[in-house]
Amino acid sequence: MIVRVKMFAAAREIVGSGEVVVDVPDGATVADVRDSLVAQMPELGQILPHARWAVAREFAGADVVVMEESEIALIPPVSGG
């Protein structure tokens, strides 16, 4: 299935877009999305180890299952305020 991953800040600049599409198997988890993403875009290699993930606008661990319509976001280390 195709899932969409929102990109922000340095990740957004690296991939050149606010959103990236990734092909993962049905029943895939955040970890599967992350692995597919880094395979597709190795240039994200620096950011991924330190980034968090969000699904449906909540922080999500690697084992959270995603669906085609899930709102998934890569959250690089934050720096608000």
Partner 1 sequence: MVELTKQRIDACALLARASRPDAGAVVLFLGTTRELTDGRRTLTLDYEAYDEMAEMKLAELEAEARRRWPLIECTIVHRLGRVPLAEASLAVAVSTAQRADAFEAGQWLIDAIKRDVPIWKQEHWADGTSEWVHPN
Give contact residues for partner 1 (rule: CB under 8 A).
6, 8-10, 12-13, 47, 50, 54, 57-59, 73, 75-81
- Specify the residue, 26 or 58, whose C-beta has the smaller distance to partner 1: 58
Contacts of 45 (CB under 8 A, 6+ apart): 38
As given in the structure block, the two tokens for residue 19 are: 């959103």
- Specify the residue, 25 or 50, whose C-beta has the smaller distance to partner 1: 50
For the CB of residue 68, give the shortest distance to partner 1 in the complex, in Å. Answer: 19
Give dist(CA 17, CA 37) in Å, integer.
14
